[in-house]
Chains A and B, each alone.
Chain A
Amino acid sequence: MSPAEQSQKKRSARNGWLLSAPALTLLFIAASGPLLIVLVYSFLTPGQYGNVIWKFSLDGWTGILFTRDIFDGTTNLADAHLTIFWRSVKLSLMTTALTFALGFPTAWFIATRPPTQRAMWLFLITIPFWTNLLIRTFAINEVIRNEGLMNTVLIGIGLISEPIRLINTDTAVFIGMAYVYLPLMVLPLFAAIDRFDMKLLEAGYDLYASRMQVLRHVILPIVKPGIVAGSILVFVPSLGAYVTPRVLGGGKNMMIGNFIELQFGQGRNWPLGAALSMALLLIVMAALLVYVRASTKGSNPHG
């Protein structure tokens, strides 16, 4: 490259930065501003009627795992908090697994339709997004509640005599989240499978692989980026889910999202809520980091 070309390249790079500066500034403030407020609040003292008192305190952070006994002032491990964390992680993992189990065949089906039909199938997949999440969740509630559609029909045709009690259980939350987040799994999987060269299936069979071996050694490794993307898109919002556990889990079966909301509402402990939010953010970031590391390991072209 000649010096003239180099200086031209530098100039156009500088112009690019200058031109995008307003947008970048706005984005930076919008993205980091609220986070910064949450971070600061997590180190303050709770006010009596909500809000915060500007006095430094680590109680918000220690409150994540420990509770102080109000009578003797000793600090104990907060079992109730751990139960909520464990339920959140467990339900999110289960949701990710179920959406993958349902989403993979669905995405494969769509990707193998003639190109003219694919748009229609994808359109059908995205239809639920048109309705408010709350409405959809109440619709699920209507289906699975004790006097709901499912139980009425099952009792009506004589399959069961007592209603199946699903509502206000972890299972109800699990079903609800899988329903809500399924499209988020299907779309990235479809994108990955759509790029998959179907000739490779023939190559696999030709080289003595059985159907299961082709799935394991050819299809899954190649569509892995789609699996990782779909899992992240489902797992992350599941972990912070608020509406679904609230509507389908009742008040009892809280997840982290509801627990955080509780601190800003009835709990009147904003620093604890802020600390919980930051902790959730850190957990998600750590999980993503591990995930991305694991998924890029095998595909490094020079590794």
Chain B
Amino acid sequence: MTQKVAITAQNVVKAFGQGAAAVRALDNVSVEIAAGEFFTLLGPSGCGKTTLLRLIAGFEMPTAGTILIDGADVTEKPPNHRPVNTVFQSYALFPHLTVAENIGFGLKMQGRPKAEVAATTAEMLELVKLEQMADRKTSQLSGGQQQRVALARALAPRPKVLLLDEPLSALDLKLRKEMQVELKRLQTETGITFVFVTHDQEEALTMSDRIAVMSAGKIQQIGAPRDIYTRPVNRFVASFIGETNFLPVDPSPHGARLSTGDVIAADGDGTVLIVRPEQLRLGPAGVGAGLAAKVTGVVYFGTDIHVNLMLADGTALTARVPSPVDGGADFATGQDVAVTFQPGAARLIRE
């Protein structure tokens, strides 16, 4: 890889507590984050994603392993000696300072000349579109504005890497969508490496260049959003990112043999067949190929309809089909249908 590496974590272990009661929040995690990348740590709460971020920031010291930022070993260094800045989940804005003073804080602590602090602060205020708010106290701002101050404050010292700890989780849905676009714009404009922590898979998919899916202190899979969605490596990743149907199968020379006896062509290797609900097609029963199934429920979602199905042997499946234009019902509970898979949609994974 010719690309520059911004962050390297090598065999990082972080244990909380002592002896037998110790909990491994991070269990031998290794990851490389390229310079200029929008990298997301995704996982449920308690998976270790925030711990990894705090280790990179320097708020926690690893139990074992090394952390390199821009090629330099920073494992032992305190946060104020690391070229990274953090956007905190709670923003952690200084309540006694104005918006402008908050943004200039990092530069002031670095001992930069007053003129430079003022110029960079003005530039950052413009970047996050808060020029009018420069002299306000942070308590007078809305949640979205506070969020932008937190961003500007962390960006002002031009860190090598910007760490974002679930920064959007306190915002309402509409604001969150706006800030997602805003964040992406800031990242493109500044060219700074972003390491973004979230438990929201949609946020991760829409914003990231690459995602690391974490669970139980381990990285389960690293890849581009498309790779992770279409080619999950295990059941955890498949179920955490989007919705998936899991079908137990036996290996067969032509693909995978379902418990109903049908054989389905599938890539991959393993004993579980996965298929996304939107990759299923429903047709009238008895016409052409397809698995025989009975509709057990229909849920209307607006953009599409979720059809709950049951195969002949009792295996449950969910299909997502586009909503009819007139809003009418295409399927009724109890109806018999034939289920077909989009070509290439079925994959085999290990447990």
Contact = CB atoms under 8 A, between A and B. Distances in A.
B79 interface: yes
B86 interface: yes
Contact of B106 (A199, A207, A221, A222): A207
A208 B106 CA distance: 6
B137 interface: yes
B157 to A, nearest CB: 7
Given A213-B109, A301-B137, A301-B140, A206 B85 contact: yes
Contact of A207 (B59, B78, B109, B139): B109
A209 B96 contact: no
B110 interface: yes
A218 interface: yes
Interface string A203-215: 1111111100100
A156 interface: no
A208 B80 contact: yes
B79 A202 contact: yes
A202 B95 contact: no
A204 B106 CA distance: 8
Interface string B83-108: 01110101011111000000001100
Interface in A181-210: 197, 199-200, 202-210
A118 interface: no
A300 B134 CA distance: 15
B235 to A, nearest CB: 36
Contacts of A203: 86, 88, 92-94
A8 interface: no
A117 B102 CA distance: 34
A186 to B, nearest CB: 22
B96 A221 contact: yes
A213 to B, nearest CB: 6
A208 B86 contact: no
Contact of B90 (A199, A206, A221, A301): A199
Contacts of B59: 202, 205-206
Contacts of A217: 105, 109
Contact of A298 (B94, B96, B110, B153): B96
A299 interface: yes
A302 to B, nearest CB: 9
Nearest to B96: A221
A203 B109 CA distance: 12
A214 to B, nearest CB: 9
Given A217-B109, A301-B137, A202 B96 contact: no
B92 A205 contact: no
A208 B81 CA distance: 7
Contact of A202 (B86, B93, B110, B153): B86
A197 B96 contact: no
A117 B56 CA distance: 32
B342 to A, nearest CB: 47
B110 A208 contact: yes
A209 B92 contact: no
Interface string A137-174: 00000000000000000000000000000000000000
A17 B79 CA distance: 56
B88 A199 contact: yes
Contacts of A218: 94
Nearest to A205: B79
A221 B94 CA distance: 10
B74 interface: no
Nearest to B153: A207
Contact of A208 (B93, B94, B139, B157): B157
B109 A200 contact: no
Interface string B152-176: 0110010000000000000000000
B139 A206 contact: no
B34 interface: no
The interface centre, meaning the residue of B85, B86, B105, B140 with most chain A CB atoms within 10 A of its CB, is B105
Nearest to A197: B92
B57 interface: yes
A189 to B, nearest CB: 17
Interface string A2-43: 000000000000000000000000000000000000000000
A199 B95 CA distance: 12
Contacts of B93: 203
Given A299-B96, A301-B140, A206 B57 contact: yes
Contact of A199 (B78, B92, B153): B92
B96 A206 contact: no
Contacts of B88: 199, 202-203
B80 A222 contact: no
Nearest to B136: A301
Interface of B: 57-59, 78-80, 84-86, 88, 90, 92-96, 105-106, 109-110, 137, 139-140, 153-154, 157
23 contacts: A197-B92, A199-B90, A202-B59, A202-B79, A203-B86, A203-B94, A205-B58, A205-B80, A206-B80, A206-B84, A206-B85, A206-B154, A207-B80, A207-B154, A208-B106, A208-B110, A209-B109, A210-B109, A217-B105, A218-B94, A221-B96, A222-B96, A299-B96
Interface of A: 197, 199-200, 202-210, 213, 217-218, 221-222, 224, 298-299, 301
Given A205-B58, A206-B59, A208-B109, 8 more contacts: A197-B90, A205-B59, A205-B79, A206-B57, A209-B80, A210-B109, A299-B96, A301-B140
